[in-house]
Amino acid sequence: MRTGTKTLLDEVLPEFDYRSRHDRHVLASPDVVASAVERYDVGRDASPLVRLLFRLRGLKVPSGSLRDALTGSGFGILAERPGEEVVVGTIGRFWALREQDYLERPRGLEDFHAFSPPGWAKGAMTVRVEARDDGSSTLVTETRVLCVDDHARRRFAPYWAFVRVFSGCIRRDFLGGIARIAERDPR
């Protein structure tokens, strides 16, 4: 990532109530890491623990690329700089017992920004590859959530306190899986 450059996530969701960020140093060039992001398959490359976490939540372990897994589970692509960063987003009542019934895929960035019914929240997640001076890379995932109103914030807070640990585990796992792909197969 160019120094001083605003990230796409900053443009998509500059204000937020909740945030989680994870990163991993990868001993591969940014273009190799970007290729590994596209080749990563949750069903094949995720750890057994992560696959178990999906099943415990009542979700099918997604297969296909990370992009396919996200867009297949209610996220829409909101912004992208090919080879550098992709931002996906969803709108929902994430704390609902039947969360999948309360997710809405935004039709695009304008739809995402305009959404404002009370009692809902907007979530955005980025996967970003940043170049390092030594030719290696930093792989970053960051999640941000903006609650539309105080009611949604009160409902989301206990959910986030519980799910953040598991969500972080999943994100660190996929960063590690992508790093392994990039470091063992530098094209």
pLDDT tens, residue by residue, 63-105: 788 888 888 778 899 999 999 999 999 999 999 888 778 888 9
Residue 163: Cβ within 10 Å count: 17
Asked if 65 and 38 touch (Cβ cutoff 8 Å), the reply is yes
Tally helices (H) and strands (E) across the chain: 7, 6
> How far, in Å, CA of 101 to CA of 179, rounded?
34
pLDDT tens, residue by residue, 4-24: 578 999 999 999 999 999 999
